[in-house]
Amino acid sequence: MVLHLSNFHLEGGAGVAATRLHRALLKSGAESRLLVPNLSAEEPGVAGLSNTALQSKLAWARFVGERLYFYPQEKNASVRFAFSPAEIGADISTNRWVQEADIIHLHWINFGFLSLDSLDQLFSLGKPIVWTLHDMWTFTGGCHYSRGCENFLTHCHYCPYLAKPDAYDISFQQFERKQSIYKNAQMALVSPSQWLNDLVKRAALTQQIRSLNIPNCIDTELFRPYDKLTIRGKLNLPESKKLILFAGANIADPRKGFTFFKQGLEKTGLLANEIEILVLGKANPEMMASFPVPVHYLGKISDPNAMAEAYNAADMIVVPSLEDNLPNTIMEAMSCGTPAVGFATGGIPEMIDHQTNGYIALQGSAQSLAEGIEWVLNNGHNAGLPERARAKVLETYSETIVAAQYQQLYQELLAHE
């Protein structure tokens, strides 16, 4: 039995990816379980640590404690959730599911779920560990994305996320602690993107640990093409306009590049009588107030069927992330036959084949983003972009393909126990 550990169940990109893999493994006939701090909904093979009011309060206290530990050390509020000290977490080494597991599969485990001590206790059980990396935290001194800093290639210190970086700051200490506990683990590191896997192989903490690239998966029957006009009618969206979608868990996160999206639209020269914007995710409505074209704010949607409808309503999705691994939004949109435009960063160029099923813009260039938007709108259906976008997902990210790759890894690890 493989036990997945994730801080989130049905929220956030990493939580959704972990849950999708768990479901894909169950469909493939594997014995899979998923343990999370709090259940988002009842689901077969998924359990939460917090089953009582007291346990829920303890989980919240761990999250708050973790944040309070970092608060006096943060450079400013913009990095508050971009660095995890992993000082506070739950000891789950005696949990029944952990004890019964043949393989422990880690996903995103920060924000008070597991601490470095928690990981040490798990690794000490001697069970094979698979760790799917959803960002860079596993091989840094605490940051989830390094924002250009390359200290992780040698040894983290003088961390740019800290108010008072120095040679022996908390990034140095976390780096040392990880170095120590990783020695106790029979571990394989899985990166959903080849970009992240290349960093794993270069990083000082992980270059000696087995690593490989297996993408996230998606239910291609759930996320599939619908009739666009029917969906627009259902959602009260204009049928004759070109609709451009921007989606993200938190639009205000600078890493998601919402400012570049707005600037790119302004540079296209497209008029309000031609295009309108769909915004999906947590956002401040004031961010849309000065947009050059009409905006339909769809809000935060967690229901997968409603998400599929939103993707189908759009003619394209724009993902101008400045740093990203393998964005679910691109995979979901493409699975629905909606072409994507994104910057040449992280795993995005692995998902979008330039001018084949979408458009890759020059990193950080609003002008290049504008050119990509115009290219997709001008070449959409005539060039077969929707069909090729979905074909890429079917060939690369379908549940059966990804589940088979993970099952092979599990078998190899168990054979070498």
How far apart, in whole angstroms, are the C-alpha atoms of residue 8 and residue 118? 17
Statement to judge: residues 182 and 196 lie in one domain: yes
Statement to judge: residues 109 and 246 lie in one domain: no
Helix (H, G, I), strand (E, B) or coil at 44: coil
Residue 222 falls inside a structural domain: no
Asked whether residue 289 carries a pLDDT value surpassing 80, the answer given is no
Q: What percent of the chain has pLDDT over 70?
A: 95
Statement to judge: residues 200 and 252 lie in one domain: no
Asked whether residue 249 carries a pLDDT value surpassing 70, the answer given is no
How far apart, in whole angstroms, are the C-alpha atoms of residue 126 and residue 303? 38
Q: Which of the four pLDDT bands, split at 50, 70 and 90, describes residue 272? A: low
Give counts: helices (H), strands (E), the chain: 14, 13
The pLDDT, as a whole number, for residue 287 is 66
How far apart, in whole angstroms, are the C-alpha atoms of residue 268 and residue 152? 39
> Mean pLDDT throughout 68-82?
92
Which amino acid is present at 212? Answer: L
Burial 354-375 (b: 16+ CB within 10 A, else e): eeebbbbbebebbebbbbbbbb
The pLDDT, as a whole number, for residue 130 is 98
- Give the CATH number for residue 386: 3.40.50.2000
Each residue's pLDDT tens digit, 253-267: 777 788 888 888 888
Statement to judge: residues 191 and 138 lie in one domain: yes
Residue 288 dihedral angles phi and psi, to the nearest 5°:
-95, -5
- In this structure, of 69-78, 112-121, 133-142, 189-198, the range with the lowest mean pLDDT score is 69-78
Q: What percent of the chain has pLDDT over 90?
A: 75
How far apart, in whole angstroms, are the C-alpha atoms of residue 358 and residue 355? 5
The residue ranking higher by pLDDT, 405 or 250, is 405
The residue ranking higher by pLDDT, 149 or 10, is 149
How far apart, in whole angstroms, are the C-alpha atoms of residue 189 and residue 117? 19
Statement to judge: residues 164 and 272 lie in one domain: no
Each residue's pLDDT tens digit, 176-198: 999 999 998 899 999 999 999 99
Domain residues for the domain of 113 are 2-217+398-415
Statement to judge: residues 145 and 243 lie in one domain: no
Q: Taking a C-beta distance cutoff of 8 angstroms, is the pair 181, 116 a contact? A: yes
Statement to judge: residues 371 and 410 lie in one domain: no
Query: For the whole model, what pTM was predicted?
Result: 0.91
Count of domains in the chain?
A: 2
> Mean pLDDT throughout 274-299?
80
Each residue's pLDDT tens digit, 357-374: 999 999 989 999 999 999
Nearest to residue 406, comparing CAs of 73, 75, 23? 23
Q: How many CB atoms lie within 10 A of CB 209?
A: 18
The pLDDT, as a whole number, for residue 1 is 96
The pLDDT, as a whole number, for residue 56 is 87
> Mean pLDDT throughout 30-52?
92
Each residue's pLDDT tens digit, 291-328: 778 888 888 888 899 999 999 999 999 999 888 888 89
Asked whether residue 119 carries a pLDDT value surpassing 80, the answer given is yes
Nearest to residue 172, comparing CAs of 144, 141, 208, 201? 141
Asked whether residue 271 carries a pLDDT value surpassing 80, the answer given is no
* Averaged pLDDT score across all residues of the chain: 92
Statement to judge: residues 91 and 204 lie in one domain: yes
Asked whether residue 251 carries a pLDDT value surpassing 70, the answer given is no
User: For the chain, first and last CA: distance in Å?
Assistant: 15
How far apart, in whole angstroms, are the C-alpha atoms of residue 45 and residue 31? 9
Statement to judge: residues 193 and 252 lie in one domain: no
DSSP string computed for 242-261: EEEEEEEEETT-GGG-HHHH
Residue 223 falls inside a structural domain: no
Statement to judge: residues 236 and 207 lie in one domain: no
Statement to judge: residues 68 and 186 lie in one domain: yes
Residue 143 falls inside a structural domain: yes
Residue 304 falls inside a structural domain: yes
Statement to judge: residues 104 and 41 lie in one domain: yes
The residue ranking higher by pLDDT, 323 or 150, is 150
Q: Which of the four pLDDT bands, split at 50, 70 and 90, describes residue 143? A: very high
> Mean pLDDT throughout 39-51?
91
How far apart, in whole angstroms, are the C-alpha atoms of residue 185 and residue 171? 21
The DSSP letter of residue 25 is H
Residue 262 falls inside a structural domain: yes
